[in-house]
Amino acid sequence: MNITLILSALFISLASFSGVLFISQKAHHWLFEKNNIRFLITFSAGVFGTTTILLAFESFEMLSKTQALISITSGFLFMLILHKLLPESHHHDTKCANCEPKIKKTGIKILIGDAVHNITDGIVLLSAFSVSKEFGFFVTLSILVHEIIQEISEYFILRDSGFSKGKALGFNLLSSLTIFIGIFIGYILIRNEFIQAVLLGFSAGMFLHIVFHDLIPYHEILKTEVKNSWKHVFVLCLGIGIMIIINLATPHTHDNSDHTHEAHVNHKHSYDESIHKEYSNHAHTH
């Protein structure tokens, strides 16, 4: 298994410690009480949206249009069902609409939902690295941006649910490490190029649901002051622009060297056979 993939997953898992950066009252006030976290979420929407499009493009490159659309739709529906079953699996604020404060059972639900979500991240990550190392790093960056925001929020929700600082960070880390379960599942599933392409489309569908359901701040853009709305639009475009620049700066090609070699050997073998057949026919004629 690719060591860069493992290191990328470990780096994403360490995002679970992001909450400690905002323990201080000033940092907490700047992020949450001034509602600046909403702009970070909007930035994340731009980052995730760009990655979603690139994942979809990869799927369309390797599959027929119908197969790619089915894969993407399946991923979207999977996340839709997951959100219905585990509504606590996504949150980007210090408050959770489906949670009750000061009850540890609430924190456990949050951790279970986050663990399942991180498994899907692992599948996405393996799919990306199966295309190329560069594309894997690109998707790693996208997941990392999103995870930092989510893990900060989760830390404070766990604290509000009655967890101590140490337990909140410890359990957060454990739920983040389930990304390796997703990598293992993806490793078992990816046996050929077709399944790789299906997983890329499935990943694009999952990301698409996250962008439209969890990240784009419709309320802030449509119902707040014009000044704040334009700030959100600017931050959204900033996230998109940065990811486009990174993608252009790190062009990738499919890691299909083995397939190419095999195709070349088969072609050579067929060519040799045709020469032999032609020679035999010629000799027989004479």
Burial class (CB within 10 angstroms; exposed 0-12, middle 13-18, buried 19+) of 272: exposed
Cα torsion for 53, 140, 44, 246, to the nearest 10°?
-70
State pLDDT tens for residues 64-111. Answer: 999 999 999 999 999 889 888 876 655 555 455 445 555 567 778 888
pLDDT at 145 over 90: no
pLDDT at 275 over 50: no
pLDDT in the model for residue 266: 42
| Long-range contact set of residues 27-34: C-beta below 8 Å, sequence gap at least 24 | 28/156, 31/152, 32/93, 32/94, 32/156
Mean pLDDT of 112-132: 89
Mean pLDDT of 247-275: 50
pLDDT at 174 over 60: yes
Residues 6+ apart with CB under 8 A from 119: 178, 179, 181, 182, 185
Mean pLDDT of 146-171: 82
Highest mean pLDDT among 20-29, 55-64, 99-108: 55-64
List Cα–Cα distances, 119 to 34, 123, 124, 203, in angstroms. 32, 7, 9, 12
The residue among 220 and 178 whose pLDDT is bigger is 178
The residue among 234 and 25 whose pLDDT is bigger is 234
**Structure-token pair, residue 107:** 């924190």
Where residue 227 falls among pLDDT bands split at 50, 70, 90?
A: low
